[in-house]
Structure 1
């Protein structure tokens, strides 16, 4: 692994380790800063006394310093560590908030959604970001980036998922530095007349202007949504069907404006500007123009986090092409990663898009050359086809573990969509940029717009046909964090073994595969040893899940309403068999009993002990009499009950000092026993 010899690679790995250390230990900024200054002081003393940097002690102190810098960067990136962050004000109180719109999110049927920056709280300076939801009114007016409003209301903390193993939107938002939401109506805020302008706002207005111009031309609705995503990074107008087709075909990277598009744009510019190399200082001029064009494109795309990340990475790649030294690829990628994590945002390390981008690029740099050495066709068409297929295979190997870990599915026909679409993507992207230029000057001819619309329509049709081959879409694949790490160990060791066989590399690959199998066996064994009962939270419905070993029994009122909860639970537990039944009135788990009282209000007198009493469908009962009859140890109310009933039941239980669990507030109730 010669790439580990580069200083930039070593420093980047240490910085990443420091960020991870900060993420799991959450040190205060003072502690992180003190450790950084301490190691910096020790490093200076060692350097002065040794007069060189080749000693083991110097390397050790440098490593510790880099790790502490990573932890320090993480601490300073946490908004709650800022002294003027809005969270330091007393919570749950109505305040006058001055907010600046930073990002326009995809609206729902009932509200406009934004990410807003807090500027003031009750006339006091404040900072931080929140989600802003504004109910739609009859006018349908929406805010734009850089707009400033004054609203009087109370913030609502983001809630964790009410059922286990579901997508944790609260955790995702915290990664963006967002902890609260503000919900207001269209008449509960005042818009400022003269808001301050920022580069992000100017970029958003330029993009909205281009989108408005595009809508004046004869593009179809679906085609226009894809054009906006492909050229401007605007995916709010994409239909759910189109999104699903591109995901299932393994081609969603075509719509997600990031590394692939910037890489193609870099390649086009590198080819078109090649004549500049004939001029004095031509290579330097060419590098300057390429980087300038990349950042101008990022500006038109709205300067989103993903596009800034991609342009930053490929600006370093452009510099690597300028140096024309193949051995500097890992070095330059590591430098771009170091630059992004330290100067832009270390929390990007925990975002899926960031992980997928760098995993794909590093995998291509590592594996693609080896695949080319494996076979070099003499036929030009075969050579280009093999190069494209090699890039696709290398990229998919890099992102496969991450895709399985987050999305639990893998498109088996990814190479088909890439072989069909990606060869023409440079032409599609180049023609699209030409269209944008013509649109700006209002000289886009209709025949050109119709021709481009037909190209996008054909691409959508091809992707749709591939996505419909469900036999090749592997879904519901269980994959945990340990398997994620071990998979990367196996992929890297196999890549190194493929490059040059040695006993150490064979041993590393064998141990990786063995550990993966042992972990899978351990998880399966633990699953067979456990039994779990889950009283789920389902709005306006009820469900109880009983897991015993590899089988799951679902007792429900509505199978369609329980589908998501069942799918998430069975996937995380790697369940092989699922049985559905109508919800019963009583269950026995271990030595305990669960009794269900539904809308009928019927409950028989029983001699056995009722451990858990579940109330569903808002039964009209006298709870005090019911408690005196059944003597339950805990009362549970699920999501099928009226909230007014919940308040009465909770008050009754509080008087009797009896535990009360409402799944709408505390989440699903889980019993696990062996």
Structure 2
């Protein structure tokens, strides 16, 4: 590929490789530091002694140095490598915690959630992040960024998923450098009156001021939630129905204030600032104003991670437009990626970051090829073909990632983009005017009513597209290897159509065969697999039996397992789900499973695996003597105090004991 000839692209790829290596092989900071130092010394020596910088040995030392810089950067961000990391002190004892709120997360019906820095433990300065969950209390206001609080509650580790194929929240938070959590109630903490302020806190305060002003205007509540997402990146107030509509219509990117919005804003500013180019050094002045305004908008939007990433990327792209060299687009995109990952290497593992760069790269690469494939002479047709080309290119860029993370594909994505994207510039332009006028208390009612109508119309269009269920393909099973194979297939497809050679067509056909073969093999493997699992669910008991593509759920309260089974059904390619009530005993090949519930009735058979549910009042020693069980299982329907007693008894009797709340779901082998 010709792109690999560009030095910034090659260096960025090796930086990414170093970050991935450091993430999967965690080590102390010493190893990457030494390796970086050695390769830096070698590169400096070669640069001084071996003058031609295009020599193979210098090139090898440069890419090796970049690889180790990536390795070092991810190791430096690992909080465990910091000497004052809070978890290095004994967090199992009650201590005074000084915490600073760094991000407000979306609340649910029962609690409010935040990310926070642990500033000190017992007055000793510390570092590191935790996630705080505070039980909802109508008498307590929401905490804000930069708020500082003191608590004596115990920090606890984040638990891994307890059921198969569930979302791994622990792994997700690990990518953000968060390993522990803190549960609080209103009476468990006090808020300090004069906390120290940061730039992020100041930006958040500005955004909250704007939100307060907007709420005083005559906006429909649902429209206001969309406006907040469009202009300020605040999606916490969007209803689940509206969010699902945008997702099913393939327009969810419109609600995520990121690359699309900043790109449109950049084009608007480019047009408005065009007259400045007539001045002496006008292009440089225009570039400076552009970047200043982009970062000013990021500040008003609260400097969230997604907006900072997008503005950084488009600041580099604005520089590329200033240089006016087509080949620089890839170089500048690679440089922006290099710079962002050098400062924040953990961004590489965030879905939004992956999708943003995949979409922009695909647009830069595929869009020109689509225009060369067909360039209509009619201006109107050409305009809509350009919009469709951008939409197709972006969708091809994010399709594998979307299938991998979200397991669905909106078939009518192009309609949503053709109907909304052409007017997004107007929507954003008017929205920025609304923000400015609301801040100055000069927002007239006719602008409010007009903007209300525009957002309401957009919501109606999205809702109609999302209602076409037959075009929304959901519950698509898609694993990591399929992700890589599909990206390879897309690359081969674009190459085959843009360079119409027999060799490229053969490569594309081989790619299709390999992708289809792996998909069929995965389906066949799933269709012959058989397993029986005791699931974990609070206050409920559930056993599932997978037999090929049919899943049997045995439970007296099947509604509580809908969420747990959804991801399992997708991953295991389940076609049929059958439910039945829970019986007292089952036979699995030569093994027997006995269920003892709150009635405490003993099963007649000995040497079976016993499942204890609903905290039965039994004498466990007598049960063990009578039934001589192979193992005991306790699920989430039991009291924790009772489980602790059972666990101690089994340990004393040297009998295998499995509590699903600690060890996760139990697999019968």
Q: Establish whether TM, by shorter chain, passes 0.5.
A: yes
Output the CA distance in 2 between the equivalents of 1:556 and 1:111: 28
1:642 equivalenced with 2:616 (yes/no): no
In 2: Cα distance, 1:578 partner to 1:136 partner: 36
Aligned residue for 1:116, secondary structure, equals: strand
Question: 1:361 aligns to what?
Answer: 360
Residue 203 in structure 1 maps to residue 200 in structure 2: no
Q: How does 1:337-486 map to 2 (within 5 A)?
A: 337-343=337-343, 345-486=344-485
1:564 correspondence with 2:563:
yes
Residues 140 and 186 in structure 2, CA contact (< 8 A), matched pair in contact too = no
| Residue in structure 1 matched with residue 322 of structure 2 by the alignment | 322
Name the residue aligned to 1:537: 536
Equivalent residue for 2:281? 281
Structure 2 residue aligned with 1:621: 618
Following superposition of structure 1 onto structure 2, how do residues 205-284 of structure 1 map, counting pairs within 5 Å? Answer: 205-284=205-284
Verify the 8 A CA contact 1:489 1:509 in the aligned structure 2.
no
Q: CA deviation at 1:204?
A: 0.5
Q: C-alpha deviations, 1:147-199, integer Å up to 9, x for none?
A: 22222221111111111110111111111111111222223322222211111
Residue 671 of structure 1: aligned partner: 668
Any conservation in 1 of the 2:246–2:462 contact (CA below 8 Å)? yes
TM superposition shift of 1:247: 1.0
Residues 620-656 of structure 1: CA deviation (Å, up to 9, x unaligned): 3332232222211110011122333323322322221
Aligned to 2:651: 654
Query: Displacement of 1:146 after TM fit?
Result: 1.3
Q: Which range moved further: 113-122 or 189-198?
A: 189-198
For 2:234 and 2:478, the matched residues in 1 are separated by 31
SS of the residue 1:326 aligns to? coil
1:43 alignment partner in structure 2: 43
CA separation of 1:414 and 1:330: change in aligned 2, threshold 3 A: same
SS at match of 1:153: coil
Task: After TM superposition, give the deviation of residue 142 of structure 1 in Å.
Answer: 2.2
Map Cα deviations across residues 46-67 of structure 1 (whole Å, 9 max, x no partner).
Answer: 3344321222222222221111
Separation in 2, partners of 1:595, 1:298: 60
1:324 to 1:102, Cα distance in 2 relative to 1, 3 A:
same
Aligned length: 669
- Aligned counterparts of 2:196 and 2:666: Cα–Cα separation in 1: 49
Q: Could you tell which deviates more after superposition, 521-530 or 301-310?
A: 521-530
Distance in 2 separating the partners of 1:48 and 1:318: 34
- Give the distance between the partners of 2:601 and 2:459, measured in 1 at CA: 56
How do residues 301-312 of structure 1 correspond to structure 2 at under 5 angstroms? 301-312=301-312
SS in 1 for 2:587: strand
Range that drifts further, 262-271 or 570-579:
570-579
- For 2:146 and 2:618, locate their aligned partners in 1 and report how far apart those are by CA, in whole Å: 54
Aligned residue in 2 for 1:127:
127
Cα offset for 1:100? Answer: 1.3
Aligned to 1:21: 21
RMSD: 1.6
Aligned-pair CA distance for 1:528? 4.1
Q: Aligned equivalents of 2:566 and 2:197: distance in 1?
A: 46
Q: Provide the C-alpha distance between the structure 2 equivalents of 1:207 and 1:144, rounded to a whole number of angstroms.
A: 11
Alignment CA distance shift 1:120-1:215 (3 Å): same
Aligned to 2:594: 595
Measure, in 2, the Cα distance between the counterparts of 1:528 and 1:186.
50
Change (3 A) 1:370 1:97: same
C-alpha contact 1:605 1:629 (8 A) present in aligned 2:
no
Aligned partners of 2:188, 2:601: CA distance in 1, in Å?
46
Contact 1:162 1:664 in 2 (8 A): yes
Alignment correspondent of 2:4: 4
Q: Distance in 1 between matches of 2:256 and 2:217?
A: 23
Moved more, 20-29 or 355-364: 20-29
Match of 2:489 in 1: 490
> TM-score, length-normalised on structure 1?
0.96
Deviation at 1:124, TM superposition (A): 0.5
In structure 2, the residue matched to 1:33 is: 33
Aligned counterparts of 1:286 and 1:366: Cα–Cα separation in 2? 27
Match of 2:162 in 1: 162
Asked if the contact 2:594–2:603 (Cα under 8 Å) also holds between the matched residues in 1, the reply is no
Separation in 1, partners of 2:43, 2:505: 38
For the 8 Å contact 2:98–2:121, the answer to whether it is kept is yes
1:536-590 C-alpha deviation (Å, 9 max, x unpaired): 0122221111122333222222222222222221211122333222222222334
Q: Distance in 2 between matches of 1:437 and 1:237?
A: 21
In the alignment, the residues of structure 1 paired with residue 457 and residue 321 of structure 2 have an alpha-carbon distance, to the nearest angstrom, of 34
* CA distance in 1: counterparts of 2:232 and 2:169, whole angstroms: 26
Mean CA deviation greater in 119-128 or 60-69 = 60-69
In structure 2, C-alpha distance between the alignment counterparts of 1:244 and 1:264, rounded to whole Å: 24
Deviations 1:414-441 (A, max 9, x none): 1111111111111000000001111121
Given that residues 584 and 603 in structure 2 are in contact (C-alpha distance below 8 angstroms), is that contact kept between their aligned partners in structure 1? no
Partner SS for 2:289 = helix
**In structure 1, C-alpha distance between the alignment counterparts of 2:505 and 2:175, rounded to whole Å:** 38
Question: Which residue in the other structure is 1:502 paired with?
Answer: 501
Structure 2 CA distance for aligned equivalents of residues 46 and 287 of structure 1: 37
SS class of match (1:95):
coil
TM-score, length-normalised on structure 2?
A: 0.97
- Structure 1 residue 522, shift from structure 2 partner: 3.2
User: Match for residue 173 of structure 1?
Assistant: 173
SS in 2 for 1:386: helix
5+ residue gaps, structure 1, are none
Deviation string 1:490-546 (CA, Å, 9 cap, x unpaired) is 111111222112344334323322322232233234334432111101222211111
Offset of residue 602 of structure 1: 2.5
Deviations 1:46-89 (A, max 9, x none): 33443212222222222211111111111001111111110111
**Are the equivalent residues in 2 in contact too, given 1:119–1:127 (CA < 8 A)?**
yes
Greater mean deviation of Cα atoms: 494-503 or 419-428: 494-503
